[in-house]
Amino acid sequence: MPHPSAVTPRTQGRARERILASVVVSDAVYHRQATIFCPTLGEVRRSLARGNNQRMTFYERLRRLLEWRGEPGIRVLSLYLDIVGPGEERAISAAETLWEEAKAALDDDTFFDRVEEILDELPQEIVAAQTEGYDGLALFFCPNPPLREIFRLRFAFENQIEVSHEPQTWQLAYYEEEYEQALAVSLGSTLEVAEIHVGDVVARHLVRPSHGRTPEQEASTVVHRLLHDSPGAHLILLGSPEHRATFEDVLEPELRARIIGVSDEPLLASDPSFLRAIHRIQQAYERRSEAEGVRALLAARENETTASMIAAGSDEVVAAVNRGSVRKFYILQGFSECGWLCDACDRMGLLPVPPACVACGASVAKVELRPHLIQHARACGAEIETVLESEALENLGGVAAELHGSSQV
């Protein structure tokens, strides 16, 4: 993800143009579909208490954010937080640290006070988001003209803060680009197939028997059609083991292979706990995928024929990123090593910081490597895999990569 020091107006402009194009197309598809999002922090609880049922889709809220405009000189806070893991203390500490760094360059006491009020509300918001199975928060705030928007998303953002003249939306653009759609099949007294789209927009398909076919057969036909149109989507089954077994019997083998998790509760999309259950299943799948990916990477590193196509540890990975040869990038969530970055050619290196860039001779600065490694790897087209915890990856230095030219491990 881009780091504040690496962001330019041109970068933000490109992200804005691309994501606005997605909004225009997708908003027409998902217009008026219900999500669990409410527009502000404290107003979430007040809105529910008033029985306000007006809800906006991810794309409607994103459109409102992207079309927001302020007068010249207006300051907008854009805050992204990774909230994966138990408790809110780590995320709050990250937010406070980022804010202390950002406000050192500002001189607006009123803006300071209003932002610190927002930060005081964050702990309860983080707990609520974690309870629902979300991995990231994105917060945008301006006192006047009023802007106070928060996104809870199934996406582990890079911790980042930016104070500028407009909302900074590049990480939301990455979320929209990398979102993996899910298809949930409820196998109870009512059969339902639910598509879970970007921003937890749910499209429901009720299934009824027809032409002498069983409901399970009809459901399998719906699933086949939807998964055929979405090759990257995952399949989740909700229902008793007996009902799941009956459904799997009529499901094609290639579709059975796309099942990532199950639940014994035949929850429908209208159930208040539906999305929470889906999120938990998705999180469990991601943890399994992370572990399997690290195991495969270690096996490739120990194989003489593939060892040269694996970079492990900061020195090897930094060198591979500088060459632009990374295909898949693994990094521990807690990776915090520092290094240096060239102010001219963006070359990175490990400590100690040299007096000048070893590649072009320009000035260099000491930086935290994590955001720059991720940004540079992403620019190479690499798949980014943030690993919550892995002793094996930690033993390698907390970072590793598959390189171009290797067969996929």
Tens digit of pLDDT at every position of the chain (409 positions): 333 334 444 444 544 554 444 444 444 433 333 333 333 344 434 433 333 334 678 888 888 898 888 888 888 999 999 998 767 888 888 898 888 888 887 777 788 888 888 888 899 999 999 999 899 999 999 988 899 999 999 888 888 899 998 999 988 888 887 888 999 999 999 999 999 998 898 999 989 878 789 999 999 999 999 998 788 899 999 999 999 999 999 999 999 999 999 999 999 999 999 999 999 999 999 999 999 999 999 999 999 999 999 999 999 999 999 999 999 999 998 899 999 999 999 999 999 999 999 999 999 999 999 989 998 998 888 998 989 889 999 999 999 999 987 555 5
State CA 230 to chain mean position distance.
19
Domain extents for the chain?
Answer: 4-178, 182-271, 289-403
Q: Which of 388, 158, 395, 180 is nearest to 297 (CA)?
A: 395
Rounded alpha-carbon distances, angstroms, from residue 285 to 131, 235, 258: 18, 11, 11
Which tokens is 23 given? 């909004």
182-271 CATH choice from 2.40.350, 3.30.420, 1.10.10, 1.10.287: 3.30.420
Query: What is residue 87's predicted lDDT score, i.e. its pLDDT?
Result: 75
Contact 31, 61 (CB under 8 A): no
Contact 82, 156 (CB under 8 A): yes
Query: What is residue 275's predicted lDDT score, i.e. its pLDDT?
Result: 94
Query: What is residue 118's predicted lDDT score, i.e. its pLDDT?
Result: 87
Query: What is residue 51's predicted lDDT score, i.e. its pLDDT?
Result: 36
Strand segments (E) across 156-231: 160-164, 182-187, 191-196, 202-207
CA distance 179 to 199: 9
CATH 3.30.1330.30 for the 289-403 domain, yes or no: yes
As a whole number of angstroms, the longest Cα–Cα distance in the chain is 78
Residues in CB range of 393: below 8 A, 6 or more apart? 294, 330, 332, 387, 399, 400
292 by Cβ neighbours in 10 Å (0-12 / 13-18 / 19+) ranks as exposed
Query: What is residue 408's predicted lDDT score, i.e. its pLDDT?
Result: 54
Query: What is residue 111's predicted lDDT score, i.e. its pLDDT?
Result: 87
CA distance 13 to 69: 14
Q: 34-59 burial string, b = 16+ CB within 10 Å, else e?
A: ebbbbbbbeebeebeeeeeeebbbbb
Query: What is residue 399's predicted lDDT score, i.e. its pLDDT?
Result: 97
Query: What is residue 34's predicted lDDT score, i.e. its pLDDT?
Result: 34
Q: Give the alpha-carbon dihedral of 21, 135, 322, 354, to 10 degrees.
A: 120
State CA 8 to chain mean position distance.
22
pTM of the model: 0.79
Helix residue ranges per DSSP H, 230-304:
241-249, 253-256, 274-302
Q: Which residue has the tokens 């069983």?
A: 214
DSSP of 79-138, one letter per residue? EEEE--SSSSHHHHHHHHHHHHHHHTT---HHHHHHHHHHHHHHHHHHHHHHHTT--EEE
CA distance 162 to 168: 7
